Structure 1
Amino acid sequence: MSDAPVLGDLATPVTVIDADTGVGEIEALIRADPESLGLVADDQGILHVLDRAYLESVLAGRLGYGRALLFRRPARYLLRRPALVLPAATAWVDAARAVLERPNSAKANPVVVRFDDGRLGIAPVGPLVEHLSRRYETLAQQDILTGLGNRRRLTEVAGALLAGTGRQLALLLLDLDRFKEINDELGHTRGDELLRQVAAVLAAEPGFDSVFRLGGDEFVLLADDSEHLEETGRSLLHAIQGPFTVAGVPITVEASIGIARTTTGRRDLGDLLAGADTAMYAAKQHRTAVELWRPELAASTDLRLQAELRTAIDQGQLVLHYQPLVDARTGAVVSLEALVRWDHPRHGLLGPAAFLPGAERSEVIQALTDRVLTDAVAQAARWHRAGWPVPVAVNLPAPVLAQDRIVDVIAGLLDEHRLPAWALIVEITESAVMTRPDRSADHLRKIRELGVRVAMDDFGTGYTSLALLTQLPLDELKLDQAFVHGIHHARERAIVEAVAAMAKGLHLTLVAEGVEDQETADILTAAGFDVLQGYHFGRPVSPDQLAGPVDGHLGVGAGGGVESVDQQPQAVGQ
């Protein structure tokens, strides 16, 4: 058989009979060829399979009298549903899928195979299904884009190697530098082509047990430990340097490598990956290209947390909870705020304060925000398709807002998930705008031109001048909860009422955060606030705990009471 078997390879010739053929004649044909899988009956052009197992069953009969009762009847009396007829050129995988799509009562029936010259054959289903099962097993351990082993395959291979005794191993984690810029310039299709070319070079490098793609632009290589690991890493970087020609453009590849090695008592894949990730991040930060893990690298909690966060993003450990914002007068839900949590494998569900400050000090904030945006837009689209067109808000941290790519990222996600632009709200803080005022304002204008609404979050805690506030393309102004909590005092209430008057003058929707009781809600409503948010109306919960609107108000799913891991609600995306 060929490497890509087709159904004709499995088929054997079959005797075709007319549906009027007597059962006695059918039995004689079956007896004459013990190797035959059965016969094919033609009933006015419709083919039916009479396989050996079925014929022997009906001829024996439930009480042993089947042969005597059926002997003079025609084959038509035995026919079941029409046969599955497939061309001889059908691939085994496609044939197996067609077999499994049949009703349970017909899944075991052989397949009729039609050759180009009109001949018919018959093929058993067992080898087809077994082939499909092996194929799925292979795919489950294979990166579809590059053909390299995936994370699951890495776990299996590394587990087997680490389980042995005596052999010392090294894990090299390779991450391409500025790969997002290549995607932004040439498009994701061209970026994928570059990844395939890099993967091919890595797979051909001698001296490594296996090569894997973890996801994105990260690759893992396993090798024997040696004194020359840094030299090996630099040789690897030279091998993938290129240039590679993509869409007619020669691209030189730069990358960073982190290396971790097994030691006494340290033969766990998770530890090796974490160590290599920490070392790789240090290589990027210090521009050394290659770094070996060493204890002093782990001395920085931020660095270790950021390294783990990279893995968390790839493995889907980040989850979004949603908190409602309600109309101050009617209580109806007007939008939901997406808040990120980290479902840490060791520490449990972490609030944003545990990881976002460190993330914003590194480039990992870009990948984190991409993940939050992607998940939030996808969830909003699901709610829209389910008949609940609720807008969802996502925070844009300062380093993200300062990048030109953010406009294209948002536009691409809206298009991919077919979400109306008005159903997405981006929230920025005063500090985010003040980091790069001109560039931030320009990016916000372009985002707003898409139809996306823009809100300023935590207003009153930063240094935004009133002049700048009038220049920003804002739709909403969210007063920080610190002012809301003090609204029962005359001085603080005067400040809140002044902010409300200013927002109305700028034609902005005014939102109050941190509302925890009805008395506060009433005061804010009287002061002119349009939208309220806080634990009084609902804590952040997972999507499956939101049952959608009930008479215009938010319903809570069957999971029971709404709880949050935070002591106070955090900013969107934080």
Structure 2
Amino acid sequence: MTEAPALGALATPVSVISADTEVGVIEALLRTHPESIGLVASDAGRLFVLDRPQLETFLAGRLGYGRALLFHRPVRVLLGASALVLPAAMPWDDAARACLARPAPDRGTPVVVELGGGRLGIAPVGPLVEHLSRQYESLALRDALTGLGNRRMLTETAGAMLDAGRQVALLLIDLDRFKEINDSLGHSRGDQLLGKVAEALGPAHTFRLGGDEFVVLTDNLGDGSGDYLTGLGRRLLRAIQGPFVVAGVPITVEASLGIARTAAGRRTLSDLLAGADTAMYAAKRHRTAVEVWRPEFAAEQGIDLRLQSELRAAVDQGQLELHYQRLVDARTGETRSLEALVRWRHPRHGLLLPGVFVPGAERSEVINPLTDRILADAIGQAARWHHAGRPVPVAVNLPAPVLAQDRIVEVIRGLLAWHGLPGRSLIVEITESAVMTRPEESAERLRRLREQGVRVAVDDFGAGYTSLALLTQLPLDELKLDRAFVQRIHHDRDRAIVDAVAAMARGLGLTLVAEGVEDQATADILAGAGFDLLQGYHFGRPMPPDRLETVAA
């Protein structure tokens, strides 16, 4: 939104005359300075404005005798209410509001402006009121927080483009885990982050729908292919990635983006918004960041919404089950720990993997009872192995909304005590983004868990953008390299990254784990690079506890 100019830019310097000055002298002065809109008079320390139209009215008088009657009278007899005196630095819209707050007869009278150094000026009211009127018109089309276009402006802009027959694409951006930022840093800090995202997007055909949703509307479709639009979406996500420093915390923005373009049967703004919204939720569900609308997404969304409504009942009715995947010693191949991975045995859809229901659960309150259930089952199973003489540690992922609450420390403490299990039998895995908003508070909760003997691992390291310095602030035991790097380890450039991570982990005294190991050749390279533990299909798929071939430590 354009910043309002200062009142001093509108003011004309003026000399102050005495209220004893004769009216005839005042008339002569105004005739000598035809550009002047009026004069300022002083009477007993008070300032008054006598503007040109007002004086001409008085001089005309009843039956035209005003000039003869007033010519030698002091101007004091014509003065009304004291002048409104405003500072030169006051913005026009504030000055206009001050003018309009005066009694009705005085609202059009020019204002006196303090120019500094004892100098005064005089400014007309008309331009101020016109400016304020334009501001109100702009506010009706602009988002008050970011200055971007609002939904009304989007409706008008899109309507004009579509009515003209232009082909357009609508890109809907939704910030991931924004609620956590608001809850952790406060809504005022969340607003600051939204403002920084808006600046990064730029004003051209960019709109804020409300909350943490933004829209970009474009008729630049390139070759019109999905690949071109996907590339455009990824460039926008990179533009808003940051990190942005808010309240001293560097926050990397993660977002999901859905795209819909005009096509047969989709020629209205409502259709485009609905399509982009469906594609955006598909991007969240599949963790692809960007998706272009496809017909199958509509069916997926319907299933996803039904699943989320059924998930709480599934937790209570015991439909969730845990499968366990081995983490093996990189040199001996012996099992060192097991990761618990949740599955949902749905009565209609069969066995569902976590990617189908966990992302949605993380956006709702059901994530707490879901995580409680997983922890209870995993610790219970670890206790059964432990008491049978097979003390293999079990790892459980703690989602970001769960780690953001103090209760998780007591939940784990109570479960370990109930099963008579030492803390070293449990490993909690966190993601980089889970600790980004309030690293000090997250670190404190993790320290309290480690005091119980629980080990802490960073999962999917390299998938986010956490600073390496943050790793030194967290109480960590393990670092799990994201599978994307492992799968590209045969390329020299990516091998260099893996070697650097391995060296850093050794320097920090961390156990280094590689995920997604698919073959022996990759396992050999990782072992040679100094990795301690390996995990992947090469060593076995996740399976129920009764099917594990071995759980020996």
TM-score, with structure 1 as normaliser: 0.50
Instruction: Kindly state the Cα deviation for residue 221 of structure 1 after the two structures are TM-superposed.
Output: 0.9
State whether structure 2 residue 220 is matched by structure 1 residue 221.
no
- The answer to whether the 8 A contact 2:285-2:359 is kept is no
Q: Deviations over 1:37-81 (max 9, x none)?
A: 122221111111111101111211243222233234321221111
Partner of 2:139: 139
Using the alignment, how far apart are the partners of 2:66 and 2:57 within structure 1? 9
What does 1:152-163 align with in structure 2 at a 5 Å threshold?
A: 152-163=152-163
Instruction: Kindly state the Cα deviation for residue 140 of structure 1 after the two structures are TM-superposed.
Output: 3.4
Using the alignment, how far apart are the partners of 1:293 and 1:229 within structure 2? 11
Partner of 1:171: 170
Partner of 1:244: 244
Partner of 1:210: 205
Unaligned segments of structure 2, at least 5 residues: 307-356, 373-406, 412-553
Structure 1 185/106 Cα, relative in aligned 2: closer, same or farther at 3 Å? same
Equivalent residue letter for 1:276: A
Partner of 1:98: 98
Partner of 1:263: 263
Partner of 1:46: 46
Structure 1 29/150 Cα, relative in aligned 2: closer, same or farther at 3 Å? same
Secondary structure of 1:115's partner?
strand
Partner of 2:21: 21
Structure 1 47/271 Cα, relative in aligned 2: closer, same or farther at 3 Å? same
What does 1:386-425 align with in structure 2 at a 5 Å threshold?
A: none
- What's the RMSD between the two structures over aligned residues? 3.4
Using the alignment, how far apart are the partners of 1:215 and 1:117 within structure 2? 46
- The answer to whether the 8 A contact 1:298-1:304 is kept is no
Instruction: Kindly state the Cα deviation for residue 363 of structure 1 after the two structures are TM-superposed.
Output: 8.3
Partner of 1:7: 7
Structure 1 100/305 Cα, relative in aligned 2: closer, same or farther at 3 Å? farther
Partner of 1:120: 120
What does 1:74-93 align with in structure 2 at a 5 Å threshold?
A: 74-93=74-93
Equivalent residue letter for 1:216: G
Instruction: Kindly state the Cα deviation for residue 179 of structure 1 after the two structures are TM-superposed.
Output: 1.5
Secondary structure of 1:122's partner?
strand
Unaligned segments of structure 1, at least 5 residues: 307-360, 370-396, 405-438, 444-574
- The answer to whether the 8 A contact 2:281-2:301 is kept is no
Instruction: Kindly state the Cα deviation for residue 120 of structure 1 after the two structures are TM-superposed.
Output: 2.0
Instruction: Kindly state the Cα deviation for residue 284 of structure 1 after the two structures are TM-superposed.
Output: 1.6
Instruction: Kindly state the Cα deviation for residue 289 of structure 1 after the two structures are TM-superposed.
Output: 2.2
Using the alignment, how far apart are the partners of 2:304 and 2:102 within structure 1? 52
State whether structure 2 residue 189 is matched by structure 1 residue 190.
yes
What does 1:122-521 align with in structure 2 at a 5 Å threshold?
A: 122-165=122-165, 167-203=166-202, 210-223=205-218, 224-225=220-221, 226-227=224-225, 228-264=228-264, 266-299=266-299, 302=302
Structure 1 249/8 Cα, relative in aligned 2: closer, same or farther at 3 Å? closer
Using the alignment, how far apart are the partners of 1:365 and 1:110 within structure 2? 62
Structure 1 46/270 Cα, relative in aligned 2: closer, same or farther at 3 Å? same
Instruction: Kindly state the Cα deviation for residue 256 of structure 1 after the two structures are TM-superposed.
Output: 1.1
Using the alignment, how far apart are the partners of 1:194 and 1:274 within structure 2? 26
Structure 1 401/177 Cα, relative in aligned 2: closer, same or farther at 3 Å? same
- The answer to whether the 8 A contact 1:173-1:220 is kept is yes
Equivalent residue letter for 1:174: I
Equivalent residue letter for 1:78: L
- The answer to whether the 8 A contact 2:278-2:301 is kept is no
Equivalent residue letter for 1:214: L
TM-score, with structure 2 as normaliser: 0.52
- The answer to whether the 8 A contact 1:261-1:272 is kept is yes
Larger radius of gyration: 2
Structure 1 115/268 Cα, relative in aligned 2: closer, same or farther at 3 Å? same
Using the alignment, how far apart are the partners of 1:295 and 1:222 within structure 2? 21
Equivalent residue letter for 2:298: A
Equivalent residue letter for 2:179: K
What does 1:529-548 align with in structure 2 at a 5 Å threshold?
A: none
Q: Percent identity?
A: 65
- The answer to whether the 8 A contact 1:258-1:292 is kept is yes
Q: Deviations over 1:525-572 (max 9, x none)?
A: xxxxxxxxxxxxxxxxxxxxxxxxxxxxxxxxxxxxxxxxxxxxxxxx
Structure 1 250/155 Cα, relative in aligned 2: closer, same or farther at 3 Å? same
Instruction: Kindly state the Cα deviation for residue 362 of structure 1 after the two structures are TM-superposed.
Output: 10
Structure 1 30/101 Cα, relative in aligned 2: closer, same or farther at 3 Å? same
Partner of 1:73: 73
Secondary structure of 2:28's partner?
helix
Using the alignment, how far apart are the partners of 1:76 and 1:364 within structure 2? 76
Secondary structure of 1:149's partner?
coil
Using the alignment, how far apart are the partners of 2:44 and 2:154 within structure 1? 56
- The answer to whether the 8 A contact 2:284-2:359 is kept is no
Equivalent residue letter for 2:267: R
Instruction: Kindly state the Cα deviation for residue 260 of structure 1 after the two structures are TM-superposed.
Output: 0.9
Secondary structure of 1:63's partner?
helix
Instruction: Kindly state the Cα deviation for residue 263 of structure 1 after the two structures are TM-superposed.
Output: 1.6
Using the alignment, how far apart are the partners of 2:362 and 2:91 within structure 1? 43
Instruction: Kindly state the Cα deviation for residue 265 of structure 1 after the two structures are TM-superposed.
Output: 5.2
Equivalent residue letter for 1:219: F
- The answer to whether the 8 A contact 1:278-1:303 is kept is no
Instruction: Kindly state the Cα deviation for residue 169 of structure 1 after the two structures are TM-superposed.
Output: 0.7
